[in-house]
Amino acid sequence: MFKIILPDQSTVPLLPDQDGEVSGDFSHPVFQQNGVVDLLGQDDASAELTARHYDLQWNREIDFLSFLKGNPEVLRYMPSGQLGWPELIGRIRAQAKDRRTLVYDAACGYGGLFTQLFAAPIPQGLGYLGADIHANLADIERPDGASHARAHFVRWDISRPLPIVEKFDYVICRNALMHTADPKVTLRSLMESVAPGGTIAVSVYARKALLREMLDDALRERITKMSSKDAFSLAHQFSCLGRDLQQSIGSIMIKEDLPFFGMRAGQYGIQEFIYQYMLKCWYNQIFGEKYSDIVNFDWYHPPYAHRFAKNEILDLFQELGLHVVREESIPAQHYVEASRVGCQTE
């Protein structure tokens, strides 16, 4: 269904179920293994630390997808299950019922959006390409009918233009733009894959209150230097702190707004106040310790974690000439959806 663009601008089809060498004409040999085409090869230095982080986070032993499938109610607590995402998935599936609809899932992670897009009954016209840099793409479980012929995975750095001929009706990048070195460069690359009149949707971290931002930065400074294994084991202390603060009896009353600290007047639970204004120490009983650790590990360890005020992410879209059609925010994240109508490409 998709064709790869080689450096000399010739093209080669992405063939399903044909593991082996796809092409020797890239800057390195391109191999397909277990249905995943590795377009990066060893050439992944720019995002290597990010890749090492997510190699652990999305590995088979953690199996985040099975956890979500077994506990669908947890999406309520995650920005992924909020904002414009559920509605967008519904819209894509509705359109793909009777029309060829191509989706580029940039930084597809553990396959969360893939699983939702291909939930039964699979829309007839849906075609999918998921790209990410981590090493576990082949482990993503395919829903029945999401065959290799209609759903491809490639290992690719999404900050670079996707070397695929086809343009996509939907380019979706949930919760990942901020994990790339330069989000504007990445957004521009993503934009290049949107078909005329197509849609691009992203969600990014929102900027938090002053003390929380300062502490987050100071902690990241230390934690990003750790190995994935050490940082994951450290994340447990953040979960324990969150758990114990949640169980601590009492409340905090702030009598008036304190704009310098970004604090709103009101009554807060102890953990709620510390979490919102000072320190991410996430804990949720349904996630338990293991998956609460994952949430804290995901916050502190990836090397890039840009945060945006709402106007900053909207400005980015505007600078690239993208026409924003939907925007929505929660304290944790912003969601922006835009259409590609007469936007600049340079």
Ligand X SMILES: C[S@@+](CC[C@H](N)C(=O)[O-])C[C@H]1O[C@@H](n2cnc3c(N)ncnc32)[C@H](O)[C@@H]1O
Smallest separation, CB 265 to ligand X (Å): 33
Judged by beta carbon, residue 223 or residue 263, the one nearer ligand X is 223
Residue 23 in contact with ligand X, rule: CB under 6 A: no
Residue 176 in contact with ligand X, rule: CB under 6 A: yes
Residue 239 in contact with ligand X, rule: CB under 6 A: no
Residue 189 in contact with ligand X, rule: CB under 6 A: no
Instruction: Indicate the Cα dihedral angle 314, 319, 321, 326, nearest 10°.
Output: 0
Site for ligand X in 121-140 (CB under 6 A): 132-134
Q: Which of 65, 52, 57, 32 is nearest to 155 (CA)?
A: 32
> Quick check: 332 and 205 in contact, CB under 8 A?
yes
Q: Which of 112, 93, 90, 92 is nearest to 174 (CA)?
A: 112
Q: Which stretch binds ligand X (CB under 6 A): 6-14, 168-176, 191-199, 277-285?
A: 168-176
What single DSSP character describes residue 202?
Answer: E
Q: Which residue lies nearest ligand X, judged by its C-beta?
A: 109
Q: Which of 331, 329, 323, 5 is nearest to 154 (CA)?
A: 5
What single DSSP character describes residue 259?
Answer: G
Calpha distance 63→61 (Å, rounded): 5
Q: Which stretch binds ligand X (CB under 6 A): 24-32, 153-161, 207-215, 226-234?
A: 153-161
Residue choice 23, 101, 180, 276 for contact with ligand X (CB under 6 A): 180
* Cα separations in angstroms, 288 against 60, 162, 292: 18, 38, 6
Site for ligand X in 201-230 (CB under 6 A): none
- Which chain residues interact with ligand X by CB under 6 A? 47, 50, 54, 80, 107-109, 112-113, 132-134, 157-159, 174-176, 179-180, 298
